[in-house]
Structure 1
Amino acid sequence: MIKLNVQDETARLRAVVLGTACSNGPIPTLGEAYDPKSIENIKAGTYPTEKDMVLEMEALNSIFKKYDIKVYRPNIIENYNQIFSRDIAFVVEDKLIISNILPDREKEVEAIQYVIDEVESSKIITTTDDVHFEGGDVMLWNNHIFIGTYKEDDYADIITARTNMKGVNFIKNLFPNKIVKEFDLVKSNTNAKLNALHLDCCFQPVGKNKAIIHKEGFKNEEDYEFLVNLFGIENLFHISADEMYQMFSNVFSISPKVVVSEQNFTRLNTWLRAQGFIVEEVPYAEIGKQEGLLRCSTMPLIRD
């Protein structure tokens, strides 16, 4: 049995589900794409190849092996995108919460059923179809659960809105002892530089007291100010719209001291090292063309 335990974003990782790019399928049509960055790369003829994405994911897998982390991979579904395991489920404390994923992606949950079967059934949480959340919008920090959401009336028309207020309230009710704080995010179906697809696309804690943040990803300035007050302005690394587009905030922590980052994020990686972090650099820019990066493709099961 897997004894789930995730209390925050940065404690020492022991077990993780890492997505797969094997048998990723043909380049999607514009009608099949879920986000503006994928659409942009389909139009430009720069959509990533399976071969390149497999190499990138194996580079990350090799880092996990180096740190003696137990890695689970999804069963391969032929011609199907299974890279972003963070979307389909996530762990809070000792509970595995299954997302109501976009209907086209339900097979992705079936592909990790062998992992779910190793979890005590009372710890597996499912919801009704009107309750929406994805793991990229849910972030644990000490006694807080941060949740990215979208509150406008056109929620149903915004393909980049993945977590609704019913989802926020579901998590509030599930964890009454936590401070659940939602953030209304800026969304765009058409402009990737103006689209915070998930909370981890514009914000993520690292280490014990630091975070990466894109101020303009938050619809309300008071939400940004809340995080400034919580972390302290001197502990925040601010990223530009272009750096958000490149997914600078979507790094992944192996421990409070070790961060996996994309090899081209020179400005960020220099700052992280100056703060005393060990930075494990991997190539991940091809996967980034689908508006997801390191945190999106991982689903932690056990952290110390």
Structure 2
Amino acid sequence: MLRLSVNDEISRLRAVVLGTAKSPGPIPKPEEAYDPKSLEHILAGTYPKEEDMIREMEAFSKVLKKYDVAVFRPEVLEDCNQIFSRDIAFVIEDKLIISNILPDREKEVDAILHVLDKIEEDHILHPPEKVHVEGGDVMPWNDYIFVGTYTGADYADHITARTNVHAVEYLREQFPKKKVLSFELRKSKNAKENALHLDCCFQPLGKGKAIIHKNGFLVEKEYQWLVDFFGKENVFEITADEMYHMFSNVFSITPEVVVSEKSFTRLNSWLRVQGFTVEEIPYAEISKQEGLLRCSTLPLIRE
């Protein structure tokens, strides 16, 4: 059996579900795009190819195994995009919460049943239907759970609005000892302005550091709270263009080891100056679907 344990974003990773890029299906039609960045690449004819995405994910898997992480993969469903395992479920403490995601993605949960079978049933939570939540919006951080949300009256009009106010309330009920803080995210049909999830504009790192993009947040004082919490001198501020390229969506294997996209030269140099080991891999094709390294992972055990 798997003894789930996730209390933060950085502790030594022992077990993870890494998505798969096999058989993602044909290029979606414009009206089938889940997010503005995918739409942009569909229209431009630059949507990523299956073989390129498989190669990128294998590079990620290789780095994880180098650090002795147990890597589980979903069963491959024909013609189904299963790259972003963070969307379908997430772990806080010793509980795995199954996300209520876009209805046509529910079969992705069935593809990880071989992993769920290793978890005691009372450690798997199924939120009620009104709770909309995806793992990209949920970050356990010791005494806190940071949650990206959108509470605008036009929530239903935004396919990019993934986590609602009911999710924040649900997490407070399930984890009464944690301080659950919500952050309003900017939702936009413009890929350069849209913060699809919290991890698209913010990411805590080891050594007390964090990556953040101010314009991803709708409420300046919520952004300011994070900057003050980590300390301005510890925060790497990314530009709109860097947010678009998913600079904040790196992934920590330990407090000192960060997996990053090889083209993120400004960020990777800063990380090294701060004393991190940076494992650089190619992941630019996958980023065309508005998701990167953190989005592709579902950590199960961090020690």
Q: Same fold (TM over 0.5)?
A: yes
Aligned twin of 2:248: 249
Aligned partners of 1:157 and 1:164: how far apart in 2? Answer: 13
What are the Cα deviations for residues 75-97 of structure 1, in whole angstroms up to 9, with x where unaligned? 00001100000000000000000
Q: Structure 1, residues 23-81: CA drift from partner, whole Å, max 9, x if none?
A: 11100001111000000000000000000000000000000111110000000000110
Which residue number in structure 2 is paired with residue 186 of structure 1?
A: 186
**In structure 2, how many angstroms separate the alpha carbons of the residues matched to 1:172 and 1:47?**
39
Instruction: Give me the whole-angstrom Cα distance separating, in 2, the residues matched to 1:279 and 1:223.
Output: 29
CA–CA distance in structure 2, aligned partners of residues 221 and 161 of structure 1: 19
Residue 4 of structure 1 corresponds to: 4
Tell me if structure 2 keeps the 8 A contact 1:10–1:208. no
2-structure distance, mates of 1:208, 1:96? 27
Which one-letter code corresponds to 1:101 in the other structure?
I
Shift in alpha-carbon separation, 1:208–1:144, aligned structure 2, 3 A: farther
The letter of the residue matching 1:286 is: E
Amino acid at match of 1:75: E
- Residue 239 (1) aligns with residue 238 (2): yes
SS in 2 for 1:53: helix
2:197 is matched by which residue type in structure 1? H
**In structure 2, the residue corresponding to 1:296 is in which secondary structure?**
helix
Aligned residue runs from structure 1 range 1-304, under 5 A: 1-188=1-188, 190-304=189-303
The 1:208–1:143 alpha-carbon spacing in structure 2 relative to 1, beyond 3 Å, is farther
Instruction: Please give the per-residue CA displacement for 1:234-289, whole angstroms capped at 9, x wherever unaligned.
Output: 00000000000000000000000000000000000000000000000000000000
SS at match of 1:22: coil
Write the distance in 2 (CA, Å) between the matches of 1:236 and 1:78: 42
Uncovered stretches (5+) of structure 1, i.e. residues with no partner: none
What's the CA shift for 1:208? 3.3
Q: Which amino acid aligns with 1:52?
A: D
The answer to whether the 8 Å contact 1:204/1:249 transfers is yes
Query: Residue type of the partner of 1:165?
Result: V
Take 1:139 and 1:24, find their aligned partners in 2: how far apart are those partners?
Answer: 27
Q: Look up the SS of the partner of 2:229 in the other structure.
A: helix
The Cα of 1:141 is off from its aligned counterpart by 1.2
User: TM-score, length-normalised on structure 1?
Assistant: 0.99
SS of 2:295's equivalent?
coil
CA distance in 1: counterparts of 2:48 and 2:128, whole angstroms: 34
1:130 shift after superposition: 1.1
Deviations 1:115-164 (A, max 9, x none): 11110101000012111100000001121100000010111110000000
Q: Deviations over 1:179-218 (max 9, x none)?
A: 1100000001x21011000000000001031100001100
* Distance in 1 separating the partners of 2:205 and 2:227: 14
**Matched residue type, 2:202:** F
1:139/1:145 contact within 8 Å kept = yes
Aligned residues: 303
Tell me, in whole angstroms, the C-alpha distance in 1 between the residues paired with 2:22 and 2:227: 40
Q: Is the 8 A contact 1:133 1:163 kept in 2?
A: yes
- Give distance in 2, aligned partners of 1:78 and 1:135: 24
User: 1-side partners of 2:104 and 2:241: how far apart?
Assistant: 30
Structure 1's consecutive aligned runs of 4 or more residues displaced over 4 angstroms after TM superposition are none
Letter in 1 for 2:144: H
Identity of aligned residues (%): 67
Structure 1 residue identity aligned to 2:200: C
Q: What SS does structure 1 have at the residue aligned with 2:294?
A: coil
> Given that residues 97 and 126 in structure 1 are in contact (C-alpha distance below 8 angstroms), is that contact kept between their aligned partners in structure 2?
yes
2 CA distance for matches of 1:142 and 1:79? Answer: 38
**Separation (CA, whole Å) in 1 of partners of 2:42 and 2:223:** 33
SS in 2 for 1:176: coil
- Report the Cα offset of residue 98 of structure 1: 0.2
What SS is found at the alignment partner of 1:163? coil
